[in-house]
């Protein structure tokens, strides 16, 4: 026997989309058969009555009141639905009254009106609208941190050229991270402040280097992200050059680090020319780039993010930096449990730059052909993130891929990056453990071993806690490495051991 | 409550950029006062002695009952809450409980009266409205009267109960206007008053749009019909919707509605397209609801097939091309 009940909210205005959203949520509650939220105009009340939801309605309800009318299985379900509706209404009302809510501007104009002294706009709208918002910010004399992706390269060029003319930074598009005057933007880590300034066309590359600088005992003055296309021929490295110039002029910066995937040759030449003219030491990590060319420009080449951080830390601290913790897993021991034919690494990355670094390390270790046979995937790539959050926020897709790898008879090693910091998942290590255990079970059912190797990109002060995340992984039998480069190298050595064993068998 | 608001929020000072001529005199008369009735991000509604006033961001354009203000600080974040008192000394409008002041001196006076386009050819009116309807049908949200645009554009569509009710009333209104039966037209419109979700129910927005369409094309019964609807609406819908209907009864409309009507009837095609897209983006469903009314209104008396299509939409709701 169902019940029909109503509750009237006096002088409650809501727009129709909000009313429908609340009604839809109420209808999904257990025991609720139907629900409607309308303003109590006579026309609407007639419809409520026609729908069989009007019986017993307060006759005093007027056009400026709103009614929640519902049919439910019983009184308890109806009461629970009203409580939920009231809670949703209170939430909206509190927001409307500004009680306990932070101001959330929806336009650049609103934001500037609220905070006239602001000198930077962080823009994270869909790509279609991002360039227009960035242009507005630049015209108002503000630096831009452009988190949005899918911005046409023509727009990027226009924005960056305007930025150069106005002496403003355009960080992005698709800029994942920055630390400016100690303030983290986007995905960034809680690193100590210091004398190393960085410019990076590489999101997780910047995160890895800043975290390793922290581990080496050094600190960061500024970390400027410029977006992955900045060193492409068309864009011309405009913001890396602008960032370098700023860091060279910055009194708080003693050492500069430049990070990128291999730039276009003409752009690399321009950047290295600027680096050679710099009055401060410059460490250059162009992943897979030519060390001799960098050295010839008077800069310090680094082949990995770890090497970049170690070199910069040494220059900044004026001596040998604190060594990284060595986990010293033995590749031979990890290979011992593998079955015949298990020779492949499944690198399942949340960080694109970390995945690129792993490929570079494996190419150096295994040779180009063998490295090309490994599967190193950036799950944060557009291909995998259509309609779903980035894997640094949402671990579900990576968990599925980890489990799938456990069923693959060719996979010897699952190689992972765990990225901590602001905006990342609150427990990225813990979130992957069920999938890791399922993968191990699947491999065991096929009478195979499976090595899981991971590095954690983070610092002790990150919200997730570095030690705790490492402990979660270690407890689950994951082999840890102090950096992504070391993890990739360990994975490469394991498959090398497995291949050698088969040759000798 | 008042003291809490005053302590929690810093003083804010806005400048009025435009004031509707429909309310200019009363709001700039010293000694006037009112009470805040509703607070939204871009607008605050104030119950004044003579009706409802709206203080709104300049970006919303001119409102028939409105005072446009700058800067565009979110109005629902500055401590103004329903029930607090608002006072005018003729030069400044103040909300003392929230330490908010709106400087009225220097504001331009803006006319909400709909411009009239006389002598437009029937073919032009139909052709332009059909084009706008086709565009709206492609872009309209599936809420409010959005589904009705597809039916009116001649597409196979599921109209929904709200759309069917609107189509039925509109068909009857058009027929009554054709025969010059004013009372019957107003009575056919009355089921739409207060009908639908939201602070301005879809039926009311539709009627405002319809009145605008009749007004801009100089329909001989535009004023009398709109005034009749406004009289009938008293007490039957929300106060915001009632206020818009009241002004529509005097053939006063928002700047957005005026701009859309003129662009649809006389602008280059690109301007018409922009006007449709912009209209669909107003509010949650108000834009599409107003647009449907406007496009029906500008064809009133010249497009017999429109009545047939409306009746088809009012039937089983499944409309074939």
Which residues are paired to B32 by β-bridges?
B88
Q: Is the pLDDT of residue A314 over 50?
A: yes
CB contact at 8 A, B298 and B216: yes
pLDDT for B6:
39
For the stretch A237-276, pLDDT in tens is: 999 999 999 999 999 999 999 999 889 999 999 999 999 9
Quote the percentage of chain A above a pLDDT of 70: 95
For residue B164, count other CB atoms closer than 10 A to its CB.
Answer: 18
Q: How far is A354 from chain B (nearest CA, A)?
A: 41
Which of A15, A19, A41 is closest, CB to CB, to B236?
A41
CB atoms B284 and A17 under 8 Å? yes
Residues on A contacting B at a C-beta cutoff of 8 Å: 11, 13-20, 37-39, 41-44, 47, 63-64, 95-98, 101, 103, 105-107, 109-110, 113-114
Give Cα A505 distance to the centre of its chain. 44
Give the span between the Cα atoms of B194 and A54, in whole angstroms: 17
For residue A467, count other CB atoms closer than 10 A to its CB.
Answer: 10
CB atoms A16 and B284 under 8 Å? yes
The secondary structure of residue B77, as a DSSP letter, is G
Find out whether the peptide bond into A173 is cis, omega within 30 degrees of 0: yes
Q: Say which range, A66-75, A127-136, A290-299, B206-215, has the weakest mean pLDDT.
A: A127-136
CB atoms B201 and A19 under 8 Å? no
Give the span between the Cα atoms of B265 and A33, in whole angstroms: 47
User: How many interface pairs between A and B have CB atoms less than 8 angstroms apart?
Assistant: 108
CB atoms A13 and B238 under 8 Å? yes
Substitution target in A9, A11, A13, A103 with the highest count of B β-carbons within 10 Å is A13
Give the span between the Cα atoms of A483 and A327, in whole angstroms: 10
CB atoms B194 and A63 under 8 Å? yes
Closest of A438, A450, A370 to residue A398, by C-alpha: A438
* Set of chain B residues whose Cβ sits within 8 Å of the Cβ of A37: 197
CB atoms B239 and A39 under 8 Å? no
What distances in angstroms separate CA A422 from CA A318, A453, A458, B85, B171, one per listed residue? Answer: 30, 24, 10, 44, 58
DSSP codes joined into one string, A311-373: HHHHHHHTSPPPPPP-----HHHHHHTPPTT--EEEEEES-HHHHHHHHHHHHHHH-HHHHHT
Which of B73, B76, B198 is closest, CB to CB, to A16?
B198
The secondary structure of residue A279, as a DSSP letter, is S
For the stretch A127-186, pLDDT in tens is: 778 898 999 999 999 999 999 887 899 999 999 999 999 999 999 998 889 999 999 999
Closest-approach residue (CA) in chain B for A36: B197
CB atoms A16 and B74 under 8 Å? no
CB contact at 8 A, A301 and A320: no
What distances in angstroms separate CA A132 from CA A123, A125, A226, A405, one per listed residue? Answer: 10, 10, 18, 43
Q: How far is B47 from chain A (nearest CA, A)?
A: 13
Backbone dihedral angles phi then psi of residue A196, each to the nearest 5 degrees: -100, 125
* Set of chain B residues whose Cβ sits within 8 Å of the Cβ of A111: none
CA dihedral for A399, A405, A406, A411, sign (positive or negative): negative
* Set of chain A residues whose Cβ sits within 8 Å of the Cβ of B196: 16, 38, 43-44
> Which ranges of A446-483 does DSSP label H, i.e. alpha helix?
466-475
CB atoms B197 and A38 under 8 Å? yes
User: Which pLDDT band, with edges at 50, 70 and 90, does A460 fall under?
Assistant: very high
CB atoms B201 and A39 under 8 Å? yes
CA geometry: angle at A267 spanning A265 and A272, to 5°? 95
* Set of chain A residues whose Cβ sits within 8 Å of the Cβ of B144: 16
What does DSSP say about strands A32-39 and B157-158: parallel, antiparallel, or unpaired? unpaired
DSSP codes joined into one string, B7-66: HHS--EEEEEEEEEHHHHHHHTSTTEEEEEEEE-SSEEEEEETTEEEEEEEGGG---TTE
pTM to 2 decimal places: 0.60
Task: Enumerate long-range contacts of B56-62, CB under 8 Å, 24 or more apart.
Answer: B58/B17, B58/B18, B59/A109, B60/B256, B61/B254, B61/B255, B61/B256, B61/B259, B62/B18, B62/B20, B62/B110, B62/B112, B62/B254, B62/B255
Which of B194, B240, B284 is closest, CB to CB, to A43?
B194
pLDDT for B2:
33
Helix (H, G, I), strand (E, B) or coil at A183: strand
CB atoms A113 and B71 under 8 Å? yes
Give the span between the Cα atoms of B299 and B295, in whole angstroms: 7
CB contact at 8 A, A164 and A139: no
DSSP codes joined into one string, B157-206: EE-HHHHHHHHHHHHHHHHHHHTT-HHHHHHHHGGGTT-SSTTTTHHHHH
Closest-approach residue (CA) in chain B for A17: B284
Rounded to the nearest 10 degrees, how much is the dihedral formed by the CA atoms of B275, B281, B283, B288? 70
pLDDT for A102:
54
Closest-approach residue (CA) in chain A for B190: A43
CB contact at 8 A, B135 and B273: yes
Q: Which two tokens stand for residue A195?
A: 């004398």
Which of B199, B235, B283 is closest, CB to CB, to A13?
B199
CB contact at 8 A, B291 and B212: no
Give the span between the Cα atoms of B293 and B212, in whole angstroms: 8
User: Which pLDDT band, with edges at 50, 70 and 90, does A388 fall under?
Assistant: low
Closest-approach residue (CA) in chain B for A64: B238
The secondary structure of residue A422, as a DSSP letter, is B
CA geometry: angle at A279 spanning A278 and A280, to 5°? 90
Q: Which residue has the higher pLDDT, B210 or A505?
A: B210
Residues on B contacting A at a C-beta cutoff of 8 Å: 9, 37-41, 59, 71-74, 76-79, 81-82, 143-144, 161, 191-199, 201-203, 235-240, 242, 283-285
Predicted ipTM > 0.95: no
CB atoms A63 and B196 under 8 Å? no
Q: Which two tokens stand for residue A432?
A: 């992957």
Q: What is the mean pLDDT of residues A182-196?
A: 95
Q: What is the mean pLDDT of residues A492-499?
A: 93
CB atoms B197 and A13 under 8 Å? no
Substitution target in B2, B6, B74 with the highest count of A β-carbons within 10 Å is B74
Largest CA distance in chain B: 62
Q: How far is B124 from chain A (nearest CA, A)?
A: 34
Substitution target in B143, B198, B244, B288 with the highest count of A β-carbons within 10 Å is B198
Find out whether the peptide bond into A193 is cis, omega within 30 degrees of 0: no
Q: How far is A41 from chain B (nearest CA, A)?
A: 5
Substitution target in B12, B40, B72, B82 with the highest count of A β-carbons within 10 Å is B72
For the stretch B190-219, pLDDT in tens is: 999 999 877 899 999 999 999 999 999 999
The secondary structure of residue A478, as a DSSP letter, is P
CB atoms A64 and B239 under 8 Å? yes
* Set of chain B residues whose Cβ sits within 8 Å of the Cβ of A17: 143, 284-285
* Set of chain B residues whose Cβ sits within 8 Å of the Cβ of A66: none
Q: Which residues contact A44 (CB under 8 A, 6 or more apart)?
A: A38, B194, B195, B196, B197, B201
Question: What's chain B's length in residues?
Answer: 321
Which of B194, B199, B285 is closest, CB to CB, to A44?
B194
Query: From first to last of its 321 residues, what are the pLDDT tens digits of chain B?
Result: 333 333 457 788 999 999 999 999 999 999 999 999 988 888 999 999 889 999 999 988 999 999 999 988 889 888 899 899 999 999 999 999 999 999 999 999 999 999 999 989 999 999 999 999 999 998 887 788 999 999 999 887 788 888 999 999 999 999 999 999 999 999 999 999 999 877 899 999 999 999 999 999 999 999 999 999 999 999 999 999 999 999 999 999 999 999 999 999 999 999 999 999 899 988 878 999 999 999 999 999 898 889 999 999 998 544 443
Task: Enumerate long-range contacts of B25-30, CB under 8 Å, 24 or more apart.
Answer: B26/B50, B27/B53, B27/B67, B27/B88, B27/B93, B27/B104, B28/B88, B28/B90, B28/B91, B28/B104, B29/B88, B29/B90, B30/B88, B30/B89, B30/B90
CB atoms A42 and B194 under 8 Å? yes
CB contact at 8 A, A362 and A492: yes
CB atoms A13 and B201 under 8 Å? no
Q: What is the mean pLDDT of residues A112-129?
A: 84
What does DSSP say about strands A3-9 and A66-72: parallel, antiparallel, or unpaired? antiparallel
User: Which pLDDT band, with edges at 50, 70 and 90, does A125 fall under?
Assistant: confident
CB atoms A38 and B40 under 8 Å? no
pLDDT for B315:
85
Closest of A49, A64, A70, A54 to residue A3, by C-alpha: A70
For residue A243, count other CB atoms closer than 10 A to its CB.
Answer: 27
Residue identified by tokens 């999938």 is A435
pLDDT for A353:
94
Substitution target in A10, A12, A16, A66 with the highest count of B β-carbons within 10 Å is A16
Q: How far is B161 from chain A (nearest CA, A)?
A: 10
Residue identified by tokens 């924005």 is A159
Helix (H, G, I), strand (E, B) or coil at A42: helix
* Set of chain A residues whose Cβ sits within 8 Å of the Cβ of B37: 11, 64
Q: Say which range, A8-22, A68-82, A91-105, B138-152, has the weakest mean pLDDT.
A: A91-105
User: Which pLDDT band, with edges at 50, 70 and 90, does A34 fall under?
Assistant: confident
Give the span between the Cα atoms of A115 and B263, in whole angstroms: 37
Q: How far is B77 from chain A (nearest CA, A)?
A: 4
Give the span between the Cα atoms of A427 and B302, in whole angstroms: 66
Q: Say which range, A323-332, A339-348, B128-137, B200-209, has the weakest mean pLDDT.
A: A323-332
Number of helices (H), then strands (E), in chain B:
13, 11
For residue A127, count other CB atoms closer than 10 A to its CB.
Answer: 15
Give the span between the Cα atoms of B39 and A343, in whole angstroms: 65
Which of A16, A41, A95 is closest, CB to CB, to B285?
A16
> What's the mean per-residue pLDDT of chain A?
90
Closest-approach residue (CA) in chain A for B74: A110
Closest of A397, A458, A402 to residue A426, by C-alpha: A458
Q: Say which range, A184-198, A317-331, B229-243, has the weakest mean pLDDT.
A: A317-331
Q: Which two tokens stand for residue A96?
A: 């409307």
Give the span between the Cα atoms of B223 and B317, in whole angstroms: 31
User: Which pLDDT band, with edges at 50, 70 and 90, does A383 fall under?
Assistant: confident
Q: Which residues contact A20 (CB under 8 A, 6 or more apart)?
A: A37, B143, B197
pLDDT for B7:
44
CB atoms A13 and B240 under 8 Å? yes
CB contact at 8 A, B312 and B135: no
The secondary structure of residue B98, as a DSSP letter, is G
């Amino acid at each position: 026997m169902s019940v029909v009940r109503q509750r009237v909210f006096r002088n409650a205005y809501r727009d129709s989309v909000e009313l429908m959203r609340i009604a839809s949520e109420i209808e999904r509650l257990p025991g609720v058969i139907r629900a409607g939220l309308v303003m109590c105009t006579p026309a609407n009340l007639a419809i409520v009555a026609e729908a069989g939801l009007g019986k017993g309605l307060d006759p005093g309800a007027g056009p400026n009141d709103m009614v929640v009318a519902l049919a439910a299985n019983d009184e308890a379900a109806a009461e629970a639905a009203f409580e939920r509706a009231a809670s949703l209404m209170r939430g909206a009302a509190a927001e409307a009254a500004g009680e306990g809510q932070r101001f959330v501007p929806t336009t650049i104009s609103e934001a500037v009106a609220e905070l006239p002294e602001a000198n930077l706009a962080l823009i994270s709208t869909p790509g279609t609208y991002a360039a227009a918002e960035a242009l507005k910010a630049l015209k108002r004399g503000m630096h831009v941190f452009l988190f949005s992706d899918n911005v046409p390269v023509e727009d990027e060029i226009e924005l960056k050229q305007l930025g150069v003319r106005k002496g403003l930074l355009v960080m992005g598009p698709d800029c994942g991270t920055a630390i400016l005057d100690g303030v983290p933007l986007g995905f960034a880590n809680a690193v100590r402040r210091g004398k190393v300034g960085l410019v990076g066309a590489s999101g997780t590359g910047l995160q890895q280097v800043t975290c390793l600088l922290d581990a080496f005992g050094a600190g960061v003055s500024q970390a400027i992200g410029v977006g992955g296309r900045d060193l492409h021929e068309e864009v011309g490295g405009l913001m890396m050059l602008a960032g370098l110039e700023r860091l060279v002029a910055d009194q708080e910066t003693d050492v500069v680090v430049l990070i990128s995937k291999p730039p276009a040759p003409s752009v690399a030449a321009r950047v290295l020319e600027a680096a050679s003219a710099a009055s401060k030491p410059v460490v250059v990590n162009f992943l897979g780039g030519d060390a001799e060319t960098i050295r010839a420009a008077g800069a310090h080449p680094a082949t990995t993010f770890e090497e970049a951080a170690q070199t910069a830390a040494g220059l900044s601290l004026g001596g040998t930096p604190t060594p990284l913790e060595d986990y010293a897993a033995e590749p031979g021991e990890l290979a011992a449990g593998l079955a015949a034919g298990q020779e492949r690494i499944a690198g399942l990355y949340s960080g694109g730059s970390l995945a690129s670094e792993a490929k570079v390390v494996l190419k150096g270790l295994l040779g180009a052909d063998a490295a090309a046979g490994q599967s190193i995937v950036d799950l944060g790539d557009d291909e995998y993130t259509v309609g779903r959050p980035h894997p640094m926020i949402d671990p579900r897709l990576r968990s599925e891929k980890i489990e799938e790898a456990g069923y693959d008879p060719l996979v010897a090693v699952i190689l992972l990056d765990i990225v901590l910091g602001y905006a990342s998942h609150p427990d990225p290590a813990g979130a992957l453990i069920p999938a890791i255990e399922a993968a191990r079970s699947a491999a065991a059912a096929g009478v195979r071993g499976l090595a899981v190797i991971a590095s954690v990109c983070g610092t002790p002060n990150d919200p997730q806690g570095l030690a705790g995340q490492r402990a979660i992984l270690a407890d689950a039998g994951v082999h840890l490495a102090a950096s992504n480069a070391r993890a990739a190298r360990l994975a490469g050595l394991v498959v090398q051991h497995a291949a050698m064993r088969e040759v000798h068998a | 409550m008042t003291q809490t608001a005053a302590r929690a929020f810093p003083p804010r000072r806005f400048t009025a950029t435009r004031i509707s001529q429909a309310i200019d005199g009363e709001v700039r008369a010293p000694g006037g006062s009112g009470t805040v009735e509703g607070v939204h991000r871009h607008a605050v509604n104030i119950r004044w002695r003579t009706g409802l006033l709206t203080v709104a961001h300049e970006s919303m354009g001119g409102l028939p009952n409105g005072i446009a203000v700058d800067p565009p600080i979110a109005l629902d974040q500055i401590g103004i809450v329903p029930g607090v008192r608002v006072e005018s000394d003729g030069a400044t409008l103040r909300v003392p409980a929230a330490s908010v002041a709106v400087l009225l001196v220097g504001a331009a006076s803006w006319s909400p009266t709909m411009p009239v386009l006389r002598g437009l050819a029937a073919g032009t009116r139909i052709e332009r409205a059909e084009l706008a309807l086709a565009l709206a049908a492609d872009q309209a949200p599936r809420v409010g009267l959005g589904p009705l645009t597809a039916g009116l554009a001649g597409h196979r569509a599921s109209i929904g109960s709200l759309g069917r009710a609107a189509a039925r009333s509109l068909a009857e209104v058009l027929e009554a206007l054709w025969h010059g039966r004013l009372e019957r037209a107003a009575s056919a419109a009355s089921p739409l008053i207060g009908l639908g979700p939201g602070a301005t129910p879809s039926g009311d927005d539709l009627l405002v749009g319809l009145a605008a369409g009749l007004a801009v094309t100089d329909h001989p019964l535009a004023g009398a019909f709109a005034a009749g609807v406004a009289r009938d609406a008293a007490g039957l819908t929300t106060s915001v919707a009632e206020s818009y209907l009241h002004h529509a009864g005097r053939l006063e409309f928002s700047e957005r509605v005026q701009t859309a009507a003129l662009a649809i009837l006389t602008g280059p095609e690109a301007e018409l397209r922009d006007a449709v897209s912009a209209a669909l983006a107003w509010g949650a469903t108000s834009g599409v609801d107003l647009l449907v009314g406007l496009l029906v209104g500008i064809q009133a008396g010249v497009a017999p097939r429109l009545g047939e299509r409306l009746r088809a939409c009012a039937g089983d709701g499944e409309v074939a091309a």
